[in-house]
Chain A
Amino acid sequence: MCNFLEYKDTKIVYRRYASLFFIAGCGSEDNELITLEIIHRYVEQMDKYYGNVCELDIIFSFTKAYYILDELLLAGELQESSKKNVLRCISQQDALEDMEVEDEVTKIM
């Protein structure tokens, strides 16, 4: 099957991972294959973060899935293709949160 579909003025690029479909809409002029690989990079990125990502990771930690997406894509364009750099940003966020949690705990004690 072709991974691209023309729909009205846009193109749909989709990819299936087990039971999950990842779907991206792009302009009719956009490069389809590279869009397809953006999807794959997103999946890989989640895989790296969650460690062997599955549907449940995304569901139970849906906010994280959004945060990862924000590090990868902005204004509809890929902003970073280095897995390491994206992961670094997310870990910084996590570190900041952990610090806040610790502060909380210290305060209560």
Chain B
Amino acid sequence: MSSSVGTGFLGRSSSSNANMRGLVQFIADLRNARARELEEKRINKELANIRQKFKDGNLSGYHKKKYVCKLLYIYILGWNVDFGHLEAVKLISATKYSEKQIGYLAMTLFLHEKHELLHLVFNSIRKDLLDHNELFNCLALHAIANVGGREMGEVLSGDVHSLLISPTSKSFVKKKAALTLLRLYRKHPAIVQPQWAERIISLMDEPDLGVALSVTSLVMALAQDDLEAYKGAYVKAASRLKRIVIDGEFTPDYLYYKVPCPWIQVKLLRLLQYFPPSEDSHIRGMIRESLQKILDLALETNKNVQQNNALNAVLFEAINLIIHLDTEHDLMKQISSRLGRFIQSRETNVRYLGLEAMTHLAARADTLDPIKQHQDIIIGSLKDRDISVRRKGLDLLYSMCDASNARTIVAELLHYLQNADFAIREEMVLKIAILTEKYATDVQWYVDISLRLIAMAGDHVSDEVWQRVIQIISNNEELQVYAARNTLQYCKQDHCHETLVKIGAYILGEFGHLIAEERGCSPIEQFLALQNKLPACSSSTRGMVLSAFIKFVNLFPEIKPQLLNVFSVYSHALDPELQQRACEYLALATMPTDDLLRTVCDEMPPFPERESALLSRLHRKHAKTSDKRTWVVGGKDANADAAELSMATKPGGLKRTFTSKGPVPGTPTNGSSSAANDLAGLDMSATTTTTTDAPKPTKPPNLASAAHLSPGWERGYNRLMLRADGVLYEDGQIQVGVRSEYRGQMACLILYFTNKTPALITSVTTTLDLDEAERPNLGWDIKGLPDPTLSQGGQTQQVVLFEAKRVFTKSPTIRVSYIAGALQGLTLKLPVALHKFMDPAELSADDFFKRWKQIGGAPREAQAIFGLSNAAKHAERELSEGFVRAVVEGFRWGVLNGVDPNPRNFVGASVVHTSEGGKFGCLMRLEPNYASQMLRLTIRATDEALPPVLLKLMQQQLERGAATAQERPPPPTVQEISDAFRNVMVTTSSR
């Protein structure tokens, strides 16, 4: 059989092993080995042979390759190969591709990231990274992506990054470079430098879906750690998703069983979940449209397995995003009903995922009602034939539990616990204990359930659980009598789990006296119950019982002889701990006076408040995942303010009220703070400390902010402060134009971007920014995004609506980035200022003066006397009447002629519109003195916030002055002359 296959392989051309007859024969031999011993014999023979060959040295590349291949095969069969690593590593520096390839494969299989031999190959890898042959680049990238660690990253990450961003890199190299960088980032985050962010995000626009997919994976990891630096990825993800799902922008080979690249869809949907939902209506609209399409597509019938899986993979990710967005009520309604069907599906995978998605829903939703209507089915899933489904059912029941259904659910869980798989019993016990504590509203229920839980599943009860029960009982007086009575009943039974004995020992020792008068609970009966258990218990439990007995000496002097007897017996115990206890207790009990005994056995103080060990234990289970969870299993309150909850322990945990003031059964308390507060500090720090060992990279600057304005921004800005339309910025590559229209408090800005380069520019990206403090005053809504690709001379536009909510002082800025060979970025200030929201007002002279007087002086007046700025003086500019008039009119004042007795003065009136602050009337008087080139400007307004703002804006424009009529450009400098004649002069000099 093997020989026929062998020939088949030899017959096929270009199969790497085809040329290695020896290898094929060796593999065939091993396959023919009937018993393990025979295989071992054959392998040992081969190992000896190879060892000898390597020792002799002087092997040809072909032979080295062949022997390394044999070693590899032995290794992947599971045998230990402890030599030949060096020979394998040396192959990497071979010139022949086939040898190099085997060398790299061997390196990635034999070596791990901390292996000492790895240092030897850094140089070879770098050489291959820089090689002209892309296939060599790929080999090097594969190697780094498979075994690269921190050290390798520190040496090579720069080269990998270059391959990623270089305009000459082929797509298939770029995508590998992106994922290699991802690997290195995971190993050591500091390897990715903060200033790379913008460039990496721009790669999400790559037309090649393979590159986009890989870059998205990289961005997902980076964004999770620094949402702010990667916030630009949100818009990219939303628009890419739409382009794929709605616009069908992909080549046919990316269709996977009729689904357009489900992998990138899943990643984009996931990336969107890392960010808080966008407030931008356009972006929201895009996302909503894509989500709806995904939901619709998933309804298609006649699907094969693959198509079904791919559609569902995307669908479930979409559902998670819808839950995360939390505002799409229409979509939410659709998924609620669909999830109800999923959890009853005949397909196991779908049931599993349906339950998982519902658990997510329970973690976020405001109301659990849509889930509760499926309660019976969910409870039924605990009996599913598949363990994975049963586990998910357990998670969901835990999450959907609230005061109204706690009793039912806890009862079901207890019932199921008896037959549950061993693997999940401990977790179940924890969860039942937490729910019992969380939703306990009456004394009996808490004690009954807790004790029954421990009685049933004693072996699976972790220490945290029974200790917590004791703490709760100790700190709540109303529980003590009932608890003491019940633990005693349990301890009296023949089959009583040891954990119950522990609780019994503690509770009876502390509170046994409270029930001593009751029938069947007399001191001697309490004593006998515990004593009978002693022989079967472990030494730690016996220790606890002995401690209970010394408390009995104090509480029940009438049974002292029996107690002393026990102590004296145990004072000869072999166990040193027990012996010491017994001796000390014996001494304590037989002292002449009871003073010391009484002090020692005084009632225990309440336990100090601390975080619930139960929850921290539960959450410890979720630590160490590579991806950050965007939610945790548990109700909404568990997810409400994870950060806050993790910060510190909250008081009020152990002490709780068992009166009717607690959550009333029947009213959902989900989301109310009481349930969360009743739980002592929910410590989830364990889930977030996964990357603390690596220092966090320093924060990248916010390039869109006003602190990073590009040189040359001012010209266009100043021009547009007085005009509605014009060029905002222009250089050799791009022109940014603005058209604007203002209506009341609303402004519509259309930004035009024109490509002036002789080539394509790609990944055109815009980001708006405004000082944090100003955001409540000036809102905006992006109505569209620019096309990412601009052909030569092409133009694209973006519409942005602004809304003046209140008086604002700062103008928003925009970051425009694009790739023209390298990444280019501009930050410009947008000509959106308060005066743009003014409308000229017509007033008669009487009205003007009347209002001028009504408003009065400070604080509703601002005045300044100023001349040209120093820069303007330097440029020999001047204040002319025409210029001043242009500024005044550009500021949208209604100029009132004939009001001021001095005709040279300007008087104006206007109304400023804001949506939340209302309308403001503004009056202005400007007194120019052209002779002295000075101006006096006075502004009064109906609100004191306005005058200083308007004054400053006007002053900034007026100070600049106008070019004087006789202004001439200065004579050209020598440098300028030589620049202008460069061509001519070069030819002369070269002659």
Say if the beta carbon of A94 comes within 8 Å of chain B: yes
How many pairs of residues, A versus B, come closer than 8 Å at their CB atoms? 186
Using known A-B contacts A9-B623, A74-B142, A96-B97, determine if residue A80 contacts B352 with beta carbons closer than 8 Å: no
**A95 vs B13: C-alpha distance when bound (angstroms):** 10
**A61 vs B98: C-alpha distance when bound (angstroms):** 14
- Binary interface profile of A, 28-61, with partner B (CB < 8 Å = 1, else 0)? 1111111011101100000000000000100111
- Binary interface profile of A, 75-99, with partner B (CB < 8 Å = 1, else 0)? 1111111111100010111111110
Are A81 and B310 within 8 A (Cβ)?
Answer: no
**A32 vs B902: C-alpha distance when bound (angstroms):** 81
Are A63 and B386 within 8 A (Cβ)?
Answer: no
**A89 vs B171: C-alpha distance when bound (angstroms):** 11
Are B253 and A4 within 8 A (Cβ)?
Answer: no
From A37, A59, A66, A85, give the contact of B210 (CB < 8 A).
Answer: A85
B62 to chain A, nearest CB (A): 8
Are B309 and A29 within 8 A (Cβ)?
Answer: no
User: Cβ of A91: which chain B residues have Cβ within 8 Å of it?
Assistant: 14
Are A31 and B266 within 8 A (Cβ)?
Answer: yes
The closest CB in chain A to the CB of B216 belongs to A77
Are B349 and A81 within 8 A (Cβ)?
Answer: no
Are A83 and B183 within 8 A (Cβ)?
Answer: no
Are A80 and B175 within 8 A (Cβ)?
Answer: yes
Say if the beta carbon of B474 comes within 8 Å of chain A: no
User: Cβ of A81: which chain B residues have Cβ within 8 Å of it?
Assistant: 209-210, 213, 254, 256, 261-264
Are B73 and A62 within 8 A (Cβ)?
Answer: yes
User: Cβ of B312: which chain A residues have Cβ within 8 Å of it?
Assistant: 33
Are B348 and A28 within 8 A (Cβ)?
Answer: no
B639 to chain A, nearest CB (A): 15
A40 to chain B, nearest CB (A): 6
| Among A3, A40, A61, A98: residue with most chain B CB under 10 A | A61
B946 to chain A, nearest CB (A): 51
User: Cβ of A34: which chain B residues have Cβ within 8 Å of it?
Assistant: 262-263, 266, 309-310, 313-314, 317
**A84 vs B172: C-alpha distance when bound (angstroms):** 12
Are A82 and B210 within 8 A (Cβ)?
Answer: yes
User: Cβ of B348: which chain A residues have Cβ within 8 Å of it?
Assistant: 1-3
Are A84 and B388 within 8 A (Cβ)?
Answer: no
Are A61 and B625 within 8 A (Cβ)?
Answer: no
User: Cβ of A40: which chain B residues have Cβ within 8 Å of it?
Assistant: 306, 309
User: Cβ of A31: which chain B residues have Cβ within 8 Å of it?
Assistant: 266, 270, 313, 316-317
| Among A59, A80, A96, A98: residue with most chain B CB under 10 A | A80
Are B261 and A61 within 8 A (Cβ)?
Answer: no
**A94 vs B852: C-alpha distance when bound (angstroms):** 88
**A30 vs B261: C-alpha distance when bound (angstroms):** 17
Are B310 and A79 within 8 A (Cβ)?
Answer: no
Say if the beta carbon of B441 comes within 8 Å of chain A: no
Say if the beta carbon of B16 comes within 8 Å of chain A: yes
User: Cβ of B929: which chain A residues have Cβ within 8 Å of it?
Assistant: none
Using known A-B contacts A9-B624, A64-B15, determine if residue A75 contacts B180 with beta carbons closer than 8 Å: yes
Give B607-631 interface residues, CB cut-off 8 Å to A.
621-630
Say if the beta carbon of B763 comes within 8 Å of chain A: no
User: Cβ of B6: which chain A residues have Cβ within 8 Å of it?
Assistant: 60
Are B349 and A63 within 8 A (Cβ)?
Answer: no
B348 to chain A, nearest CB (A): 4
**A37 vs B303: C-alpha distance when bound (angstroms):** 15
Using known A-B contacts A37-B310, A85-B210, determine if residue A77 contacts B182 with beta carbons closer than 8 Å: yes
**A77 vs B109: C-alpha distance when bound (angstroms):** 18
From B9, B13, B349, give the contact of A32 (CB < 8 A).
Answer: B349
Are B73 and A37 within 8 A (Cβ)?
Answer: no
Say if the beta carbon of B391 comes within 8 Å of chain A: yes
Are A97 and B310 within 8 A (Cβ)?
Answer: no
B580 to chain A, nearest CB (A): 40
B822 to chain A, nearest CB (A): 24
User: Cβ of B391: which chain A residues have Cβ within 8 Å of it?
Assistant: 6
**A28 vs B627: C-alpha distance when bound (angstroms):** 8
From A60, A83, A84, A92, give the contact of B24 (CB < 8 A).
Answer: A60
Say if the beta carbon of A22 comes within 8 Å of chain B: no
Q: How large is the interface on B (under 10, 10 to 19, 20 to 34, 35 or more residues)?
A: 35 or more
Using known A-B contacts A27-B625, A82-B210, determine if residue A75 contacts B16 with beta carbons closer than 8 Å: no
Say if the beta carbon of B5 comes within 8 Å of chain A: yes
User: Cβ of B629: which chain A residues have Cβ within 8 Å of it?
Assistant: 28-29
Are B179 and A75 within 8 A (Cβ)?
Answer: yes
Using known A-B contacts A31-B313, A32-B353, determine if residue A93 contacts B17 with beta carbons closer than 8 Å: no
User: Cβ of A41: which chain B residues have Cβ within 8 Å of it?
Assistant: 256
| Among A37, A94, A96: residue with most chain B CB under 10 A | A37
From B105, B176, B352, give the contact of A66 (CB < 8 A).
Answer: B105
Give B9-46 interface residues, CB cut-off 8 Å to A.
9, 13-17, 19, 24, 27, 31
Are A37 and B14 within 8 A (Cβ)?
Answer: no
Say if the beta carbon of B559 comes within 8 Å of chain A: no
Are B16 and A61 within 8 A (Cβ)?
Answer: yes
- Binary interface profile of B, 779-800, with partner A (CB < 8 Å = 1, else 0)? 0000000000000000000000
A71 to chain B, nearest CB (A): 8
Are B180 and A37 within 8 A (Cβ)?
Answer: no
Are A89 and B138 within 8 A (Cβ)?
Answer: yes
Are B313 and A100 within 8 A (Cβ)?
Answer: no
Are A93 and B101 within 8 A (Cβ)?
Answer: yes
Say if the beta carbon of B102 comes within 8 Å of chain A: yes
**A78 vs B349: C-alpha distance when bound (angstroms):** 21
User: Cβ of B229: which chain A residues have Cβ within 8 Å of it?
Assistant: none
User: Cβ of B587: which chain A residues have Cβ within 8 Å of it?
Assistant: none
- Binary interface profile of B, 542-567, with partner A (CB < 8 Å = 1, else 0)? 00000000000000000000000000
**A64 vs B16: C-alpha distance when bound (angstroms):** 7
User: Cβ of B270: which chain A residues have Cβ within 8 Å of it?
Assistant: 31
From B182, B262, B625, give the contact of A28 (CB < 8 A).
Answer: B625
From A33, A56, A85, give the contact of B353 (CB < 8 A).
Answer: A33
From A38, A75, A82, give the contact of B253 (CB < 8 A).
Answer: A82
Are B175 and A98 within 8 A (Cβ)?
Answer: no
Say if the beta carbon of B96 comes within 8 Å of chain A: yes
The closest CB in chain A to the CB of B307 belongs to A37
**A101 vs B17: C-alpha distance when bound (angstroms):** 12
Say if the beta carbon of B750 comes within 8 Å of chain A: no
Are A30 and B179 within 8 A (Cβ)?
Answer: no
User: Cβ of B172: which chain A residues have Cβ within 8 Å of it?
Assistant: 80, 85, 89
- Binary interface profile of B, 656-679, with partner A (CB < 8 Å = 1, else 0)? 000000000000000000000000
A73 to chain B, nearest CB (A): 9
Using known A-B contacts A4-B349, A60-B6, A64-B16, determine if residue A77 contacts B266 with beta carbons closer than 8 Å: no
User: Cβ of A98: which chain B residues have Cβ within 8 Å of it?
Assistant: 13-14
Using known A-B contacts A9-B623, A63-B17, determine if residue A100 contacts B97 with beta carbons closer than 8 Å: yes
The closest CB in chain A to the CB of B631 belongs to A29
Using known A-B contacts A31-B313, A34-B310, determine if residue A77 contacts B217 with beta carbons closer than 8 Å: yes
User: Cβ of A32: which chain B residues have Cβ within 8 Å of it?
Assistant: 313, 349, 352-353
User: Cβ of A75: which chain B residues have Cβ within 8 Å of it?
Assistant: 145, 179-180, 182-183, 186, 217
Using known A-B contacts A5-B388, A31-B316, A37-B310, determine if residue A70 contacts B349 with beta carbons closer than 8 Å: no
User: Cβ of B624: which chain A residues have Cβ within 8 Å of it?
Assistant: 9
Are B5 and A60 within 8 A (Cβ)?
Answer: yes
Chain B positions within 8 Å of A, measured between CB atoms, are 5-6, 9, 13-17, 19, 24, 27, 31, 69, 72-73, 76, 96-98, 101-102, 105, 109, 135, 138, 141-142, 145-146, 172, 175-176, 179-180, 182-183, 186, 209-210, 213-214, 217, 251, 253-254, 256, 261-264, 266, 270, 306, 309-310, 312-314, 316-317, 348-349, 351-353, 386-389, 391, 621-630
Could you list 18 examples of A-B contacts with CB < 8 Å?
Answer: A2-B388, A28-B629, A30-B627, A33-B312, A33-B316, A34-B310, A34-B314, A62-B72, A63-B17, A63-B69, A74-B180, A77-B179, A77-B214, A79-B210, A81-B263, A93-B101, A97-B97, A100-B97
Which 7 A-B pairs give the minimum distances between C-beta atoms?
A: A33-B313, A94-B14, A75-B183, A29-B627, A34-B313, A74-B179, A77-B217
New A-B pairs, 8, CB < 8 Å, besides A33-B310, A34-B309, A63-B17: A2-B386, A33-B353, A66-B105, A66-B109, A74-B142, A81-B209, A85-B210, A89-B138
